[in-house]
Structure 1
């Protein structure tokens, strides 16, 4: 059995897998090594072990895991400030710190942006070190207003958001998902419809539902997505380990989304036009530059800095490293991912 097959069979024991979404994920994965990387974090864990085992002995903070250039977005915190940062923590767990950095670097290389691989790695590493030293959330209403140019929502995008929500087919979620969704609404909101939503890369195949409700003059949306053990823990034989999602989003260096919560085996979050993952399109590809990559690196550093003891250990390890280590490691694992992708794709034909 292939590694993908083993992982998907395990998923079937952990949640009610949406088989048509699994098929859709496979077709999507065939399109490029970048999309393959996005969809197979559990394979990355094995790749690190076989091709870069020296990473495994490094300090292991609570980490994102499935880090890549499309795993960043915006949300509103409890003070309604607009926050930018990592907004998908499905695979959060204790991981050697270099994995998040190298995986982000690899994703930039595989996505084939205009920036050179060496410059991209240098920008990510510079930002990471800054995030370790001055940890904190990226607030777009105050300190980092320049990021609005990258994540601003146009009127067309607002219209597209509601078109997508209205296009989600009606569904009857299981009782647990319904309870989780209803529990995420204001007490006087009036539920209008449950629907099935198809979204994501690595999470395709997990059940995902939305609830549209009316509240004080307009519509609001909540989404529920099944929560599983991190792909890193699965790859290391810890298939029953608890997901660390709530722990990482509420860490002391973050400014969390107050609507995000886990219950009944589902992650529930508020959806809106400006609470979203910033996905690749022509405009994003054109804008991605060293400044944005430094911000991404800084966000990862800030997440890893939650533990002061581990932060100091990471900084000491970085001081011992050659300046080009991230570029070299990125090259090594980029080639490994591309070879893994070609081997997997050949197996599908």
Structure 2
């Protein structure tokens, strides 16, 4: 019998204690944050239940939930809205992505200010939109000129954002020089050894790039971001970019970990050279346009993913006190389009189902009811696991071990 608390403790063993305690405290707040922080537990439970209908194999995000979508600058410097986290990506039955997403909507109902029937209606809207795009067999992308509603607003604000103002929020200035803001919320100090390792990496990485001077390191901090990855070695790096003070760039350097989704699958996966190669290859494959500065890299003997820093404010944040039900439904439909498009882009690659198989699957209707039923079962199990977690957390289980 799976003990959720011991499974969580085991999975997070060896992480940075300071940020790990932040993660545990966050997970205590509500079931949705708990879901975000326990992807490994979600898939272990899903495999244990065995209630997912047969479906074509697709390249899946692996950690699909409400807050893993957002806006970003592509490597062509245009703004896009897409899935933005591929740490757990793997080849799996496509319904695994869908069940996790709908479960996130159900788990987040209370914090979204929704009643359960409303949350279920939003889940069905997501699946209906996903089906519509998959049946057509042609991927789409979301950019500023065609986006509307909350997504359009998000993309518009990113396109209009001034680099200097963004840097001012994340750094402190002394004359023409900038240093990272180490505030305990988004940034924590590094040790001299950590700084030296990052600087040495960039000194070796920069000569292989078109503009080596761009990657001159000005400052380094440990990054605090997300929920599931808190405690994993991760840095914010301030680099020279196009020149100080307002042409500087912020980069995210994060250690690559194995996929929790793949760990619960019986399906064989490709033999990737490194976990970083898996993450970056699948992100490039499934996003409409790749995120800027996206590279699989090695620092010492460890593998990392390097990319442009994506601020948390570039994610859609739904709030029932602010957003109407119609606005939320519009976002769900956009997210459904995005996921179907990602699955189509990965079709026929390295053993995944071809587009014709995805189209044939979408033409059926019964799977929608099956996915909804599985998501509701998962949300009930999630609630039980979260309650067990809360009791253990409150008695100090996660601070004593």
Tell me the TM-score normalized by structure 1. 0.85
The one-character-per-residue Cα deviations of 1:49-105 (angstroms, maximum 9, x if unpaired) are 1234334x4222110011110001122223222111111111011121111111111
Once residues 216 and 53 of structure 1 are traced to their aligned partners in structure 2, the CA distance between those partners, rounded to angstroms, is 55
Give the drift of 1:314.
3.2
More divergent stretch after superposition (171-180 vs 114-123): 171-180
Whether 1:271 and 2:309 are equivalent positions in the alignment is: yes
Counterpart contact for 2:82–2:287, Cα < 8 Å: no
Instruction: Name the CA shift for 1:339/1:252 in 2 (closer, same or farther; >3 Å).
Output: closer
More divergent stretch after superposition (38-47 vs 300-309): 300-309
The equivalent of 1:223 in structure 2 is: 252
Instruction: Name the CA shift for 1:235/1:181 in 2 (closer, same or farther; >3 Å).
Output: farther
The equivalent of 2:360 in structure 1 is: 316
Counterpart contact for 2:82–2:288, Cα < 8 Å: no
Instruction: Name the CA shift for 1:35/1:212 in 2 (closer, same or farther; >3 Å).
Output: same
4+ long deviations beyond 6 Å? 154-157, 237-241
Instruction: Name the CA shift for 1:261/1:247 in 2 (closer, same or farther; >3 Å).
Output: same
Give 5+ residue unaligned stretches, structure 2.
173-179, 396-401
Instruction: Name the CA shift for 1:279/1:149 in 2 (closer, same or farther; >3 Å).
Output: closer
1:49-128 superposed matches below 5 A: 49-55=47-53, 57-112=54-109, 113-114=112-113, 116-128=118-130
Instruction: Name the CA shift for 1:191/1:163 in 2 (closer, same or farther; >3 Å).
Output: closer
Instruction: Name the CA shift for 1:283/1:256 in 2 (closer, same or farther; >3 Å).
Output: farther
Give the drift of 1:236.
4.8
Q: Secondary structure, in 3 states, of the residue corresponding to 1:286? A: coil
Match of residue 291, structure 2, among 243, 257, 272: 257
Once residues 52 and 252 of structure 1 are traced to their aligned partners in structure 2, the CA distance between those partners, rounded to angstroms, is 27
Instruction: Name the CA shift for 1:318/1:155 in 2 (closer, same or farther; >3 Å).
Output: closer
Instruction: Name the CA shift for 1:199/1:279 in 2 (closer, same or farther; >3 Å).
Output: farther
The equivalent of 2:7 in structure 1 is: 3
The equivalent of 2:181 in structure 1 is: 166
More divergent stretch after superposition (216-225 vs 318-327): 318-327
More divergent stretch after superposition (283-292 vs 88-97): 283-292
Tell me the TM-score normalized by structure 2. 0.75
Once residues 144 and 161 of structure 1 are traced to their aligned partners in structure 2, the CA distance between those partners, rounded to angstroms, is 27
The equivalent of 2:176 in structure 1 is: none
Once residues 338 and 48 of structure 2 are traced to their aligned partners in structure 1, the CA distance between those partners, rounded to angstroms, is 28
Give the drift of 1:283.
8.6
The equivalent of 1:203 in structure 2 is: 229
Once residues 155 and 135 of structure 1 are traced to their aligned partners in structure 2, the CA distance between those partners, rounded to angstroms, is 28
Larger Rg: 2
Match of residue 188, structure 1, among 199, 213, 217: 213
RMSD, aligned α-carbons: 3.1
1:333-344 superposed matches below 5 A: 333-344=378-389
**What is the number of residues matched between the two proteins?**
340
Once residues 24 and 286 of structure 2 are traced to their aligned partners in structure 1, the CA distance between those partners, rounded to angstroms, is 37
Counterpart contact for 1:128–1:294, Cα < 8 Å: yes
Match of residue 148, structure 1, among 152, 157, 165: 152
The one-character-per-residue Cα deviations of 1:140-183 (angstroms, maximum 9, x if unpaired) are 2x332552224535879847742595223442437664455553
Counterpart contact for 2:52–2:374, Cα < 8 Å: no
Q: Secondary structure, in 3 states, of the residue corresponding to 1:254? A: coil
Counterpart contact for 1:170–1:193, Cα < 8 Å: no
Whether 1:35 and 2:33 are equivalent positions in the alignment is: yes
Match of residue 317, structure 2, among 260, 280, 298: 280
Once residues 21 and 286 of structure 2 are traced to their aligned partners in structure 1, the CA distance between those partners, rounded to angstroms, is 39
Counterpart contact for 2:318–2:328, Cα < 8 Å: no
